[in-house]
Amino acid sequence: MLGWAVTFLIIALIAGALGFGGIAGASASIAQVLFVLFLILFVIAMVARAVRGQPPT
């Protein structure tokens, strides 16, 4: 799950860079939503891994 969260976080960052740069203005709001969503998923995955007692690799 952590791998998926990181993958989609990177996709959201790329979409954000393209959207905020003026290449695709309509994707800026979508990128913001994706960035926040996958940042939350990333934090949840990190907390779940810590609760299970597995240190970060």
Describe the crossing of helices 27-51 and 2-20 by its angle, rounded to 10 degrees.
160
Q: What is the pTM of this model?
A: 0.50
Residue type at 34 in one-letter notation: L
Give a yes or no: residue 20 inside a domain: yes
Cα separation, 57 vs 47, whole angstroms? 14
Structural domain count of the chain: 1
pLDDT given at position 40 = 92
Cα separation, 44 vs 4, whole angstroms? 12
pLDDT given at position 7 = 84
Query: Distance between the two ends of the chain, CA-based, in angstroms?
Result: 14
Give a yes or no: residue 32 inside a domain: yes
Query: 2 or 28, which is more confident?
Result: 2
What are the pLDDT digits (tens) for 8-53?
A: 888 888 877 766 656 666 666 777 888 888 889 889 988 888 888 8
DSSP assigned state of 53: T
Look up the domain containing 17 and give its range.
Answer: 2-51
pLDDT given at position 38 = 87
